[in-house]
Amino acid sequence: MPQISLGTWAFIRGPYADNPWSLERVLDFAAEVGYDGVELSGYRPHAHYDDYDTPEKRQALREMVESRGLAVSGYAPDLRHVPAALTETEVYLPEILKAMQLCVGVRTDVLRVDTGVPPEELSAEEYSDRFRRIVLNWDKAAEEGLKIGVGLEWEFEPRFLVNKASEVRRLLEAMPERNLHVILDMSHAYMMTVVGARQPGIVQTLPYGIVSLGRDIDEYIGHLHLSDSDGTVSKRSASSKHVTLGQGKIDYDTDLYYLRERFKKLAWWTVDLNEHDHAEEAARESLAVARELLLTYGI
């Protein structure tokens, strides 16, 4: 049965950006509330890989987590300086390798990536070049990850290039070794498949929303961000606005039911409250909802 973790980024973004919680404070909170683990943000002041650039520092980070009875479900590094769609592989790969070393150090095999650029209107040539560069970068990164037991997990969002269901499938199939998996964030998936948020050109939605997408890319789903959406785009991040689980528009009883065979095989379900105005309260309430959903659809 999957375990439940909490994304630490909820406490350094949005209203918390001016006074972010330290990683230690988030860990204490997650343990006190009853989460099984945390998903580490690589954005400072949390676990930026350059701040943990030796085996000793990474071991200390792991012990910081494990001493509280927690484990690490995944790592979301800060790669804004090397967007996958624009960066040459010889520049991109060294940064990914540093992030992978942190994954090894904290004992997680989930490394989050994104395409790194907004979904602009592009010429066919520009789009093709960016798409090709993403595939080249991620194919090489995934190849290196296989050597050390770290998987590349792509989180697609409305705010990033490749934000239509057909594009997602095409990119996954374009990987030469089919060695890329996805983080299915339910809020992002809702905004993609039901709302068609920030999609350039012809808007593409799906008849059964998240279920249609999940079934189409079933074999590629490697990680789940359990989140909820109010159906709007955040004014802060220009991505999906995340709300407390059960208080948004997502129909868990439909989506989790029809995708349960995949989701119950995952090691973790991560509660994602990105930019929530009241993340502390929401994390408490969402854990209760997540546990109920897990007992219903995760066994």
* 180 and 138 Cβ atoms separated by less than 8 Å: yes
Examine residue 77 and say whether the peptide bond preceding it is cis (omega within 30 degrees of 0): no
Query: Where are any strands of DSSP class E within 219-281?
Result: 221-226, 228-233, 240-243, 268-271
What tens digit of pLDDT does each residue of 43-63 get? 999 999 999 999 999 999 999
Model pLDDT, residue 178: 84
Model pLDDT, residue 296: 98
| CATH class of this structure's domain 3-297 | alpha beta
Assess whether pLDDT exceeds 90 at residue 7.
yes
Assess whether pLDDT exceeds 90 at residue 299.
no
Sequence-ordered list of residues with C-beta below 8 angstroms from that of 251, at least 6 positions apart, any chain: none
Q: Which amino acid is at 149?
A: G
Model pLDDT, residue 108: 99
What tens digit of pLDDT does each residue of 88-116 get? 999 999 999 999 999 999 999 999 999 99
Q: Quick one: average pLDDT of 278-298?
A: 98
Assess whether pLDDT exceeds 90 at residue 177.
no
Domain segments of the chain as ranges: 3-297
Assess whether pLDDT exceeds 90 at residue 277.
yes
What tens digit of pLDDT does each residue of 193-224 get? 999 999 999 999 999 999 999 999 999 999 99
